[in-house]
Structure 1
């Protein structure tokens, strides 16, 4: 089964080990990842010039992959800043502020609302909506920005995306590879997702409360900055006009949700709709608040938002480039093909691991989980699903049962790791909207998610 591992695979494995080791010691991994890209390119092409060029090409590829997320975060940031500067934000969030009184209530409310929106539209557009409406309320009642990011992340990119019950892209990909119906994957995944969701969110909440009590975490004001606070004095909006904007803006986002349903917009299309709406809100707020200066102020806020977006993504681009090399980006980045028979470096490593393990129910479950974790390392979440599905089918046939449960387990581990709870460049949407360090958010999620994965893998044994 699979192909022989080559020098490319061993170099990639070595650099994955190095990055994990350095992240454990809280060191920066940019140089290691760039070196990894260079060595992989040199091993593949044998050309010094092509290897040096591939460093730049890999950055270009990564930016093109991440650009829609960078842009929507930049635009939401610009809009949030002008709403704060104009004093509209305070009025807009006041109904929620009355309902959400404690940090605990804020954590669970953000999480559950995030999960529901993510089921229908996937997490990226949901993060944008949460950042605009519920994040300021959470900060006001004392939930640290990191706590809000954890809630968005675990409920959206974790629970909602790993089940994907409504859009059903994940179960279809997994099911097709395993030779079973998407509905079978969904049915098998429900108990496992409940176990995974409860373990991770409760563990994360307990750890968060502990650190808040010790004073390790403080509430940080999302996008607010001194500049914005100063600017609020210049706003020319009267209270009635602010009230009109405070009503219209949530209605526009509610209209977005209706349009997503009626026009069947998902993923990138849904994100684009929210991004476009946010630009229009920015322009009209600027015209109302700054009148003659509106042209200059709109550009100023847009520039601030774009600076924020690229500042957040700057450290991530070289790191993500290395991991994209292991997924589907190798040929575009390096300009030379993978070894014959390869399905991507990460997928080859996962297949080799599965082939090396003897077939029993317990080893099958833990191997599927390990393969899911490995394939999740490219930060895509979905790219490893065909592999985990096909390996689940192999183990299911060998064991004689449990193909659907094994497929569901592979889907959960792949998406929880790669879809945006442990890989720093995958969880950037939540980190950026909450204005927290994505690497710190990944470290915070590590114990709850690893605990959840172990408990869920053990639980899966009872369903196989």
Structure 2
């Protein structure tokens, strides 16, 4: 179904390019996003007051959509703080130092572990499970926090989420839209996921090594040194025996979470909630043991500290996310039902228009599916547009006479790598927040490796059709 593009579509597209330009130029895009939201609201409603209200309501909508991620990061940070102050964290991570001896091993070990865990439980819980424990180890051997974030992001939100071999949420959506069995999408995606993953992670590793060697990137450890000194100052608030008990008990508790996830088939938000709830109880139990009579006040203090961190990290992201949420169902929720009657959302309408405006052959088809997937990923979900990718793949595959499964897998990979995500800053906040790095800087470092990976993967797909 084709939707006639109107002024709202073109204004939205214009601001996408302006925002991308600001990001590439390493400038803050918040003001541009706010102006874009206001202009879209004014064009739709023809009301100054309603367009002003739309800006505020778009912020509320973005916060509601992101609140689960904000809370899990906040809770994990609060738990991490009490574990660090009591010395439990150092005792927990000591076994990993036997394997992570240098920045290269840190990058690959963290990445591969992230990928494996993400296949079973999706990336957000995986970030929470391994990020807090392995980040200090990696930094200690010389891999900066941005390198750890890249490893977790590329292997988890990139390779694992775009393939989704175990949970099969992504291939289920795309195969249904394309009208083909899910097994065909998965089998076609295996070589594409492999090429995309190897190209991207190897390039990212090469760039990291280059920047470490020439001094453009180094471990900025001032805050961490202060934390270590704080550990030494507060290490006597818990006995060595108690630290050892908790160092064993806490991983067991998270292991039990994993078992529950498997048995109860918990995925996505449910899996994240289980990890978050466990972290809250760990925070409470450790605080009671460490602070005794002062535990009631300290528990609140740790939670507040975590929440302050979470909202500080998300603050610059909310205006940007608010704008891009208007590209999907957020427009109707925030501004109102001013889109054409058969509209699938501004972003999807643009994707459909692109798909219907190009000639059809394997080369153009593959390139178009990659672009369509990437465009639908700009809303920061990665999943909202993959059904569209499946539908377009079916259209192209029918016209070409073959390659529907390959095109479907390609669109899925493009959408999720962009929006699921490794390029859209608000989609990669979990890894950025756990590592305490700027999500926009993480997106910039991912840009070249991911872009090259997408280009190489698209070329491979052309020959597979």
TM-score class, shorter-chain normalisation, is: over 0.9
- Name which of structure 1's ranges 252-261 and 451-460 shifts more when overlaid on structure 2: 252-261
Between the aligned partners of 2:130 and 2:89, the Cα distance in structure 1 is 13
Deviation, 1:232, is: 4.9
Partner of 1:190: 190
Deviation, 1:132, is: 2.6
Partner of 2:426: 425
Matching of residue 167 in structure 1 with residue 136 in structure 2: no
Q: Deviations over 1:197-236 (max 9, x none)?
A: 0000000000000001112222245984747743652342
Between the aligned partners of 2:178 and 2:229, the Cα distance in structure 1 is 55
Report the CA distance shift for 1:38/1:160 in structure 2 as closer, same or farther (over 3 A).
same
Partner of 2:292: 291
Partner of 1:145: 145
Tell me if structure 2 keeps the 8 A contact 1:85–1:229. Answer: no
Partner of 2:53: 53
User: Where does 1:301-450 land on structure 2 (aligned, <5 Å)?
Assistant: 301-450=302-451
Q: Deviations over 1:236-268 (max 9, x none)?
A: 211111111111111111111111101111100
Deviation, 1:134, is: 1.7
Query: Structure 1: which 5+ residue stretches go unaligned?
Result: none
Deviation, 1:372, is: 0.8
Report the CA distance shift for 1:272/1:434 in structure 2 as closer, same or farther (over 3 A).
same
Between the aligned partners of 1:400 and 1:120, the Cα distance in structure 2 is 35
Q: SS at the partner of 1:462?
A: helix
Q: Deviations over 1:107-136 (max 9, x none)?
A: 101101100110011100000011232222
User: Where does 1:72-91 land on structure 2 (aligned, <5 Å)?
Assistant: 72-91=72-91
Report the CA distance shift for 1:175/1:355 in structure 2 as closer, same or farther (over 3 A).
same
TM-score, normalising length: structure 1: 0.98
Q: Deviations over 1:109-166 (max 9, x none)?
A: 1101100110011100000011232222111211110000000000000000001111
Partner of 1:253: 254
Q: Deviations over 1:154-194 (max 9, x none)?
A: 00000000011111110010011111111110010000000
TM-score, normalising length: structure 2: 0.98
Matching of residue 35 in structure 1 with residue 35 in structure 2: yes
Q: SS at the partner of 1:326?
A: coil
Tell me if structure 1 keeps the 8 A contact 2:84–2:227. Answer: no
Report the CA distance shift for 1:298/1:325 in structure 2 as closer, same or farther (over 3 A).
same
Deviation, 1:21, is: 1.0
Deviation, 1:306, is: 0.4
Report the CA distance shift for 1:348/1:341 in structure 2 as closer, same or farther (over 3 A).
same
Partner of 1:26: 26
Report the CA distance shift for 1:100/1:222 in structure 2 as closer, same or farther (over 3 A).
farther
Q: SS at the partner of 2:393?
A: helix
Q: Deviations over 1:352-400 (max 9, x none)?
A: 1111101111000000001111111001000111111100001100100
Tell me if structure 1 keeps the 8 A contact 2:432–2:439. Answer: yes
Partner of 1:212: 212
Between the aligned partners of 1:232 and 1:337, the Cα distance in structure 2 is 60
Between the aligned partners of 1:448 and 1:266, the Cα distance in structure 2 is 29
Between the aligned partners of 1:98 and 1:184, the Cα distance in structure 2 is 42
| Count of residue pairs brought into register by the alignment | 464
- Name which of structure 1's ranges 91-100 and 188-197 shifts more when overlaid on structure 2: 91-100
Between the aligned partners of 1:221 and 1:301, the Cα distance in structure 2 is 22
